[in-house]
Amino acid sequence: MKKILIPALLLVAAFFTACNPDRLEIPQKGVVLTDAFYNTDEDCEGAMVAAYQGILYNVCTEEGASIYAPYRACFDLPGDDMYAAGSNYGDNDFMREMNEFTFGPNTAVLVNCYKNIFYAMYYSNIVIDKFKNGLPNGGQTATTKRCVAEARVLRAWMQLMLTIGWGCPPLVDHLLEYDEELYRCDEDPNNPKTHEQMLEWCAKECEAALPDLTERQGPNDKAGAVKATKGFAYAIAGKAYLFAGKYAEAKAALKKVIESGNYKLVPSDRWVENFHANGDANEEKVFELNFENTAGLGWGDITFRTTWMETNIWGWRADHFVAGGEGEVSNNPWTIKTMNDGWGGLGVPKYFADEWLANDGPNSVRFKNSLIHIDDVVYNTNYGHAVDALTLEEKQQSKAFGIKPSGLYGQSFYLAQKQAINPFIDGWYPGANQRFNNFVIMRYAEVLLMYAEACAQTNDPDGLQYLNEIQKRAGSAHVSTALTLDEVKKEKKFELWLEMCRWPDMVRWGDLDKAAQAGSDVPVLYDKLFRAPQGGDQNVIWEHGSEANSRFYTVSTHEAKDNGLPVGYVAGKEYFPFPDISKRQNPQLNQLPYWGGGAQ
């Protein structure tokens, strides 16, 4: 008998051989037969809820509690706008492999992202396959049509991200039989699709679902931000067409989102709320996964539905700041800011911070809420200590705070704070490192920037107004006077930093020069009061140009390269390899060209 639930443990066959066969027909308790489940509108709604939760459990986390979200790590870490940092080289190798392009078919981040997207897709396929023809005894209803449409859009989005990441992944558009063979989509013997055709399939799936989807009921409709709506379907269709180079089609789909009037940018003074619980389902959210923190959730359910310790690993390296010793401040800046331990896994390249500052200016709301200078971190934290009353000149010479001799590995002069948890907003129980805010898949800002790009690609000036809307909301010192692709690229790099966009954009734009240098120059940030420059230091850079007017400096390191690892992007690595475990389970799934497979 087919069952919805899969037993956690299999009983050994020998146990059953001693039993009377008649006694084996006793119904298993706690298990519902499929024939008795997929029969009503309520069953359909329940399956749809499971589809959303399947994404929350698998895409937003690593099949449960973990220190990173595979989806975010996979599409952010290869970007040229961050370092995979930590306590020291080797501290977070699973991240470093992605960031320095030494990844392969067994890299944990890639394996988890790939298989977990398919796990999540399974739940959408259940809804589609079980209810595409309606109810067994009632035919199609408004509920079955809507749920199937929502599931199709979710599946199209997941298939899109697989296609962006893996080039020609298998197309899984139905529930698989246990012995069904999976092929690269370009080698599928029944219905082969090129990379571009797969992208178009994703767009057309969204378009086909549109008649049965509901519309968000205005910008204040919070329920409309946490489910697949017409707006999200048009946005995903537009993104798929954009990546396929179908700019006219992308423009048409994305303009539907804009013209709907159901979304708008939050004002400047609320920009930062987009990344915290007080901004859940706000007017700028096109789609996000709903965490829904309620009193009934226990520790296990919370940790399995949130990014959990990601706020630790992407925080500043707390124990490398001077604190706790005699005469020193009692606590470090990160813990004071977030009430968390920080492991220093997210570093900001100097060139990126300098470029952002030059574009936005120091008073930009976006810049100030995304990056913070090491001077501000050390000197302007409120320590609750006598140092708070010192003048700036006195603070610059004080050893009551600063950076320990170990330095901050993978850091330059600006530290990241866009990702920082606010424990007073984002939640407390069962620990301050639990992120209770929803997992954002797409903001309206991305829609506007994609539309502006599609306009730039087709010489249509209509996109300039939306590019300017983003820039003015950011408080940027730079506001474009003409719509060009370079202007859109620059704006998107800053506005959508750490939002799973940079690496995919770099690939399709061919902007890979900096990626080729990944791993060749990883900075370590030092404090001269605790570690003066040493003879073997390479490429010493002072924060304000010279030792005389600076306390902090960086030196260059390249330990992965020194250890003989093939760091840096090379042609062919724009697409991730299929995991070895997937190839073992599907021998006919040929690897991608760079990784040993045939032509793509």
CB 463 within 8 A of CB 452: yes
CA distance 432 to 426: 8
User: Where are the strands (E) in 220-265, listed by range?
Assistant: none
Q: Which two tokens stand for residue 51?
A: 């589809």
CB contact set of 246 (below 8 Å; sequence gap of 6+)? 200, 203
Which of 321, 404, 349, 371 lies closest to 523 in space, CA to CA? Answer: 349
Which of 600, 464, 589, 594 lies closest to 172 in space, CA to CA? Answer: 589
Q: Which residue has the tokens 């809820």?
A: 49
Q: List the beta bridge partners of residue 279.
A: none
Which of 86, 74, 85, 69 lies closest to 519 in space, CA to CA? Answer: 85
List, for residues 347-367, the tens digit of each pLDDT value. 999 999 999 999 999 999 999
CB contact set of 18 (below 8 Å; sequence gap of 6+)? none
Confidence label for 230 from pLDDT (cuts 50, 70 and 90)? very high
Q: What is the pLDDT of residue 598?
A: 63
Judge whether residue 562 has pLDDT over 60. Answer: yes
Q: What is the pLDDT of residue 421?
A: 85
Q: What is the pLDDT of residue 425?
A: 79
Judge whether residue 190 has pLDDT over 80. Answer: yes
Q: Which two tokens stand for residue 380?
A: 């302007």
Q: Which two tokens stand for residue 80?
A: 């040229």
Q: What is the pLDDT of residue 19?
A: 42
List, for residues 575-587, the tens digit of each pLDDT value. 999 999 999 999 9
Q: What is the pLDDT of residue 120?
A: 96
Q: What is the pLDDT of residue 295?
A: 57
CB 390 within 8 A of CB 400: no
Longest dimension (CA), the chain: 89
Which of 329, 432, 423, 343 lies closest to 380 in space, CA to CA? Answer: 329
CB 531 within 8 A of CB 409: no
Mean pLDDT of the chain: 92
Q: Taking each helix axis as running N to C, give the angle between helix 41-58 and helix 142-166, from 0 to 180 degrees, rounded to the nearest 10.
A: 20
- Sign of the alpha-carbon torsion through 556, 560, 563, 568: negative
Judge whether residue 12 has pLDDT over 90. Answer: no
Judge whether residue 23 has pLDDT over 70. Answer: no
Q: Which two tokens stand for residue 421?
A: 């948890």
Judge whether residue 3 has pLDDT over 50. Answer: no
Calculate the dihedral angle through the C-alpha atoms of 14, 15, 17, 23, rounding to the nearest 10 degrees.
Answer: -160
Query: Out of 54-68, 164-178, 541-555, which region has the weakest mean confidence (pLDDT)?
Result: 54-68
- Strands 439-443 and 408-409, by their bridges, are unpaired
Q: What is the pLDDT of residue 61?
A: 76
List, for residues 277-305, the tens digit of each pLDDT value. 999 999 999 999 998 765 566 767 777 66
CA distance 554 to 543: 8
CA distance 402 to 399: 7
CA distance 251 to 453: 9
Whole-Å CA distances, 362 to 350, 354, 393? 15, 11, 22
Query: Out of 303-317, 497-511, 562-576, which region has the weakest mean confidence (pLDDT)?
Result: 303-317
Amino acid, res. 73 = A
Interior/surface letters 459-476, b for 16+ CB within 10 angstroms, e for the rest: ebeebbebbbbbbebbbb
Whole-Å CA distances, 254 to 109, 239, 410, 449? 31, 8, 38, 10
* Mean predicted confidence (pLDDT) in 455-484: 99
Gyration radius of the chain over CA positions: 26
Which of the residue ranges 60-74, 204-218, 307-321 has the most confident prediction, judged by mean pLDDT? 204-218
Percent residues over pLDDT 70 in the chain: 90
Judge whether residue 521 has pLDDT over 70. Answer: yes
Q: What is the pLDDT of residue 5?
A: 33
Q: What is the pLDDT of residue 571?
A: 97
Judge whether residue 8 has pLDDT over 50. Answer: no
